[in-house]
Amino acid sequence: MWHPLAFRDAAGHWAEEAVNYMGSRMVAGGVGNGNFAPDLPITRAEFAAIIVKGLGLAEEDGAVPFTDARSGDWYAGAVRTAYEYGLMNGYGDGTFRPEERVTREQAMVIIARAMAITGLTADVSPGDAEKTLASFADADGVSGWARSGVAAGIQAGIVFGRDDGRIAPGDSISRAEVAVIVQRLLRKSGLI
């Protein structure tokens, strides 16, 4: 699908090409009034919608398996689909927390799960993960549950550290960063 557009607030932004491209492919939507808000942190609901659309998955109808998401919510189908495909999980208390910000390590794990769906290698041994992460100043800050997923995205060239040599695993990931990494995922997978 292609619907050419250029978000007003993406002009001159470091991620302008990816933001406009993903918007034109109707994978990443704006926030209204022709804007994308590239530097805002992305929410779990927004991330679910982008990854589901990017992978071309049909949004699942029906009850959403989380206590804080209802079938009438704008994100319900994407959240249900992301959950059904094992891309995103809820929390132990039965919630999804759709408005919660996504951290960089959470996003990288979701991307690694998406890589498995598209056929890219996403299975990284613990030893290889440690070698990959060792070059980053804050590698020790990557959670144990996220280490293989973070390393898989880095090894595939889909995600990178920040300019200062850090992964910044606990930082919020921006809407622009998500547009860029989903675009890389789709290109490396041969889907675009």
State yes or no: pLDDT of 26 exceeds 70: yes
Percent of the chain with pLDDT over 70: 98
Average pLDDT over residues 60-68: 88
Per-residue pLDDT reduced to its tens digit, 75-130: 999 999 999 999 999 999 999 999 999 999 999 999 999 999 999 876 788 899 99
Tokens of 91: 């929390």
Residue 1 has pLDDT above 80, yes or no: no
Mean pLDDT for the stretch of residues 136-151: 95
Instruction: Kindly report whether the global pTM for this prediction surpasses the value 0.85.
Output: yes
What's the rounded mean pLDDT across residues 181-188? Answer: 96
Q: Is residue 2 predicted with pLDDT exceeding 70?
A: no
Q: What is the pLDDT of residue 31?
A: 93
User: For the chain, what is the mean pLDDT?
Assistant: 93
- Residue 169 CB-half CA count within 13 A: 22
Confidence of residue 161 (pLDDT cuts 50, 70, 90): confident
Mean pLDDT within 151-159: 94
pLDDT of residue 122: 67
**In the chain, % of residues over pLDDT 90:** 83
Contact between residue 89 and residue 83 where contact means Cβ atoms under 8 Å apart? yes
Q: Where are the domains of the chain?
A: 43-100, 103-173
Q: What is the pLDDT at residue 108?
A: 96
In this prediction, residue 74 has a pLDDT band, given cuts at 50, 70 and 90, of very high
Instruction: Retrieve residue 70's tokens.
Output: 């209802």
> 147-180: buried (b, 16+ CB within 10 Å) or exposed (e) per residue?
bbbbbbbbbbebbebeeeeebbbebbbbbbbbbb
